[in-house]
Structure 1
Amino acid sequence: MKKPLDIVVLGLTLSSSWGNGHATTFRALIRGLKAEGHRVLFLERDVPWYAEHRDLPEPDFCELLYYSDICEMLEVYAGRLMKADAVIVGSYVPDGVVLIDRLEALDLKRLCFYDIDTPVTLAKLDRGDEEYLAKRQVALFDIYFSFSGGQVLTRLEEQYGAKKALPLYCSVDAERYQHTGETFRWDLGYLGTFSPDRQPTVEKLLIEPARRLPHLRFVVAGPQYPADIDWPKNVERINHLPPADHSSFYSRQRFTLNVTRADMIAAGWSPSVRLFEAASCGTPIISDYWRGLDELLLDQHAVLIATKTEDVLKALTGIDERQRRSLAARAKAIVLEGHTGLARARGLIADLSQLPERQIHPQSMLQPVSA
């Protein structure tokens, strides 16, 4: 499969990074695909909460089209979908169960799923929550691409019936995430939408250190934080930070904090896009622990793993500038070598190249039978 591929992605959003990590993940991957000469159509459900916060309504690296109704969309794009070399459905797509069933009824060459929320998805399926994917549908996909690797892939195949489960980790667009050369504004920062299961860790690893180190400066960027949070005076708040401002944000921090959702910690091997973004910008990372992190970025070598407030205090007050720069440089080298959008695109194409096209449904060749 050396010819340029025609790929259709039906994902949560490409146009808006507001309150989600999907947009930046798709952007890095699809930019990588374009750089390799492949063609991508991204179909996005037109919903008001993203329409009001679009920071990339007309990308220059793919075709982006919006739809309001699944049936109407399939009527218009059925031909394009069936001609595509691969159709990839993303996690958390509105009415995903209906969409997947309708796609499965078409004569597609390849149908894949890209789960950018695998541990969350599996937890939802285990409790009977089929918001965007039904348990019976896992076996429909030719490849189940997973944001999480490790043991999760075995579970997908053995417990949930996936034909083939492969890792497709998030990545960074290295051309857009670089150090800006700006002077430091904060000693420690965090970028992330509010999540109840992450907030206790934010409290332990950022807010409490801010209380104990009132002479240092901290920042938390991201929407949906409750109004009743008691922020120390030396913690600056930014409600929403568009991707165009991420590099500047990371570059102005001495250290950045990575906090992982509970489902991701339980699953392990689920690197956040924020890890790759910060590393690409040359900002050293303090992170909570999850299985696989020390295989990706060795503790004390390319990342500082913190389990308690005192770990953060030690990093902020005990690491000199030479050590700080060395830590950042090692992480950056690792990320640029194997975790860019271009690297992910090449991996995706390699995986698809091993996948034969589906056989045409026999019933599609039959004439309709009259009642």
Structure 2
Amino acid sequence: MAQVVLQDIVKSYGSLYAVNHVSLTVDDGEFVALVGPSGCGKTTTLNLVAGLLPMTDGDIVIGDRIVTDLDPKDRDIAMVFQNYALYPNKTVYKNLAFPLQMRKLPKDEIDQKVRAAAKVLDIVPLLERRPRELSGGQQQRVALGRALVRDPRVFLMDEPLSNLDAKLRVQMRTEIKRFHQDLNATIIYVTHDQLEAVTMADKMAVMNKGFLQQYDTPKNVFDNPVNTFVASFIGSPAMSLVPLEVVQRGDQAVLTNEAGWELPLSAMNTRKALKATTNKVVLGARHSTIKLHKSETVGAVPARVYTVEPTGDITFVQAFVGEAVVIVSLDPTVIVRPDEDVWLEFDQERMHLFDGETTMALSAA
């Protein structure tokens, strides 16, 4: 396996930038997920690494080689696609063997590699079947096996689970994670499903409109989003964001909205809020960090229930705070109803504050 380095890579179509000066390093044996909404540039980035698209600017290094100008076949990478791309008239064995036959490897070596890959992915009983005789999950394992037999330095995976149903996706997430752990493989994985990224990846690269927004471990991205886009994209449900204004009252800052209520801030959050470029700030909070009260409470702000969504062990409540929707999770024994007046208490130790103009996270330091 090998390290992959993207050095200020650019892909533009005239004045439109699909990938806008992206730099990141994927360490040897690391699983990195590229995530973001449709059109954010994640698949284009993967295709640039694969050599399937010409790059406008920048360099890509795999191992100790600059591969920017090399053909895909010379980059020592293997791709797993969304649609499996299996040969329908070939058996599983022949699908796995085909890329090795193209490299003109000896027959005995091909057989050894095919059977070793089939054993790793638990598809030995399927070797004589054809793709139409396989389930979606089995076909995806065969597609992984075809990449594995090549013994590449890097695996590139483009939304490989998007064609599977929900139950199979969960199962295959586990299979791919185990695949990575057993082989210590270097994997770059594209997905629009941030849950896949959070559960499988060592690091995640969050992209939007061609820009790399944040590159860090899933935990750090979840706990410390660098801006409101990352905060609203990562997490299920997403972080609630409430636009407010900050007013200084002596040594303390308070947050206010048009309704006239005030939320006094702790000393740490006061330092954050007063670093905003204007008096506009955005309060961010995860559903699990907000307490819902059914009567007026000191330190809580008024809200009105919009929807109530029972999920079994947790009930999610969406409530309006001004014009913003805030999501709160409750024990299912707590009963609230749409249009009910409630009060929400934000945990000052776990709330986030963002600059209302730049959208960047505010720091107390």
For this structure pair, what is the TM-score category when the shorter chain's length is used for normalisation? under 0.3
Q: Give the structure with the higher percent strand.
A: 2
Scaled by the length of structure 1, what TM-score is found? 0.27
Which has the higher Rg, Structure 1 or Structure 2?
Answer: 2
Scaled by the length of structure 2, what TM-score is found? 0.27
